[in-house]
């Protein structure tokens, strides 16, 4: 998902209609349903504007909920609270690209309630709460200023963990999650040179700047099908941090068709494709979910790389079910994680996760590492990656693995990459325009016998 512009006031559809759908999306997130599941239910013509308003509400959910708690004498039912949250977020933190007049937000929120049978009786209550906010906003903001979720826009446990894991950078990490991530492209070097593609973008009126080895950061996001050569496989959308995987796994060695590479948790296929764009290797791409595995095939087909990879539906940790007994020269393990490093692109993640998820996912990561390490030949390498800023899913996980495996050596690699334009941790110093997502990388080498 990428951020989309909000339609200006006075254009169809009206703000009241957008607020109805935004409130429903916020309510679902607060009850545990992701935006990836909920937004497709929104009518297609409304979806871009509703997504933008929902992203905005979720980026300010901590503050908006704290204010609603003070505005309401009683705890409103979830559907009412969600509508109040959506309106309050617009009143105290105007959305990028459009500023609604305060009275417009109040009137349209009340109208949104009146248009829904289940909320008609709550219209007066919503009106009273929002008008009180307009009258007392300075005092109310002062009351919540020291509340961590209201101030930093994340759950308290998340704030505490980031502060403990990154004591020098924690505030910058949290702030970076509030900023929309740039649209970053990866040029398919098998099809076109990066500078040549940048020229094609310029000819189409799209300004860009280079990042990394194959990336271009767009000055403004756009629909993917408007990108020159998209359907012909000239380019993909992939964050600058995610683009590092192929280079870190392949660096320092000549690769050819005799080399076998495993992409263990491959969907939707961006890293699989990047490996094939950069090297003539055999790639086996796995994913445990059949629908997600089909996305790998779709990605490879669009990039005209499908003939050079095998895709299987399998749990990578259940090696007896899929491994043919032949060792791999390299393994990419982009392990399931909390996604705490990509919150700027997925603002619902911070509100969907629970503190217990960190330990549960760390256990799953350990299970995958233990299962895949024996499949690596002596002299081979494994790149462990997560899109997380939590040390439990990064450096702590790797150090525990090294303590258990005396046959593993950690090669200098990126370590923890902090999101946005904050100071990276480790040996990664490239800072692309608009920054990068939060990631962790560690390359583990198995010495030759």
Is the same domain home to 225 and 350?
no
CB 335 within 8 A of CB 386: yes
Overall number of domains in the chain: 3
203 contacts: CB under 8 Å, gap ≥ 6: 228
The tokens describing 369, both together, are 């590492």
- What pLDDT is attached to residue 2? 53
Instruction: Give which of 219, 323, 211 is closest to 262, Cα–Cα.
Output: 323
Domain termination site, one of 131, 153, 175: 153
Residue 352: CATH number of its domain: 3.40.50.150
pLDDT in tens, 97-113: 667 899 999 999 999 99
Is the same domain home to 253 and 220?
no
Is the same domain home to 223 and 305?
no
Is the same domain home to 222 and 255?
no
Domain region containing 415: 244-445
Is the same domain home to 202 and 259?
no
Asked, for residue 279, whether it belongs to a domain, the answer is yes
Helices and strands in the chain: count of H runs, count of E runs:
17, 11
Asked, for residue 160, whether it belongs to a domain, the answer is no
Is the same domain home to 90 and 200?
no
The angle, 0 to 180 degrees and rounded to 10, between the axes of the packed helices 123-144 and 78-92 is 50
Query: In angstroms, what CA-CA distances link 64 with 115, 128, 346?
Result: 23, 16, 18
Asked, for residue 3, whether it belongs to a domain, the answer is no
Is the same domain home to 336 and 201?
no
- What pLDDT is attached to residue 12? 52
Mean pLDDT (whole number) for 160-189:
95
Indicate the pLDDT class of residue 422, thresholds 50, 70 and 90. Answer: very low
Asked, for residue 317, whether it belongs to a domain, the answer is yes
Asked, for residue 168, whether it belongs to a domain, the answer is no
380 backbone dihedrals φ, ψ, rounded to 5°: -90, 180
Asked, for residue 7, whether it belongs to a domain, the answer is no
411 contacts: CB under 8 Å, gap ≥ 6: 381, 443, 444, 445
Indicate the pLDDT class of residue 429, thresholds 50, 70 and 90. Answer: very low
Instruction: Give which of 162, 158, 152 is closest to 353, Cα–Cα.
Output: 158
Is the same domain home to 134 and 57?
yes
Domain termination site, one of 237, 271, 303: 237
pLDDT in tens, 215-255: 999 999 999 999 999 999 999 999 999 999 999 999 999 99
Residue 194: CATH number of its domain: 3.30.70.1170
Which residues are identified as catalytic?
A: 387
Instruction: Give which of 96, 165, 90, 81 is closest to 129, Cα–Cα.
Output: 81
Is the same domain home to 221 and 336?
no
Is the same domain home to 310 and 410?
yes
- What pLDDT is attached to residue 8? 42
Indicate the pLDDT class of residue 431, thresholds 50, 70 and 90. Answer: low
């Amino acid at each position: 998902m990428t951020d989309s512009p909000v339609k200006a006031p006075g254009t169809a559809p009206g703000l009241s209609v957008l607020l109805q759908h935004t409130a429903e999306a916020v309510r679902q997130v607060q009850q545990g349903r992701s935006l990836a599941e909920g937004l497709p239910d929104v009518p297609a013509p409304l979806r871009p504007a509703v997504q933008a308003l929902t992203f905005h509400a979720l980026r300010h959910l901590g503050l908006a909920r704290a204010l609603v708690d003070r505005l309401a004498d009683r705890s409103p039912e979830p559907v009412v609270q969600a509508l109040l949250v959506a309106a309050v977020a617009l009143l105290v933190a105007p959305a990028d690209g459009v500023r609604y007049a305060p009275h417009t937000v109040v009137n349209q929120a009340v109208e949104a309630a009146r248009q829904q049978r289940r909320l008609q009786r709550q219209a007066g209550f919503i009106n009273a709460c929002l008008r009180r906010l307009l009258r007392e906003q300075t005092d109310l903001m002062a009351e919540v200023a020291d509340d961590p979720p209201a101030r930093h826009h994340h759950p308290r446990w998340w704030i505490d963990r980031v502060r403990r894991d990154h004591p020098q950078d924690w505030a910058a990490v949290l702030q970076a999650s509030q900023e929309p991530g740039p649209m970053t492209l990866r040029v398919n070097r098998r099809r076109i040179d990066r500078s040549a593609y940048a020229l094609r973008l310029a000819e189409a009126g799209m300004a860009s700047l280079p990042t990394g080895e194959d990336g271009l950061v767009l000055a403004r996001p756009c629909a993917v099908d408007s990108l020159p050569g998209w359907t012909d496989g000239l380019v993909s959308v992939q964050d600058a941090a995610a683009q590092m995987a192929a280079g870190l796994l392949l660096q320092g060695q000549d690769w050819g068709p005799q080399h076998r590479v495993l992409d263990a948790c491959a969907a939707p296929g961006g890293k699989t494709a990047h490996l094939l764009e950069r090297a003539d290797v055999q790639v086996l791409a796995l994913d445990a979910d059949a629908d997600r595995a089909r996305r790998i095939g779709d990605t490879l087909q669009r990039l005209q790389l499908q003939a050079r990879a095998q895709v299987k539906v399998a749990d990578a940790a259940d090696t007896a079910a899929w491994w043919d007994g032949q060792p791999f020269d390299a393994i990419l393990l982009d392990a399931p994680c909390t996604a705490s490093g990509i919150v700027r692109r997925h603002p619902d993640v911070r509100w969907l996760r629970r503190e217990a998820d960190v330990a549960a996912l760390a256990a799953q990561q350990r299970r995958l590492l233990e299962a895949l390490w024996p499949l690596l030949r002596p002299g081979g390498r494994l790149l462990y990656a997560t899109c997380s800023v939590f040390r439990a899913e990064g450096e702590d996980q790797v150090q525990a693995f090294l303590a258990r495996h005396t046959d593993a050596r950690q090669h200098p690699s990126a370590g923890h990459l902090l999101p946005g334009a904050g100071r990276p941790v480790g040996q990664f110093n490239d800072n692309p325009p608009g920054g990068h997502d939060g990631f962790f990388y560690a390359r583990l080498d198995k010495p030759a016998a």
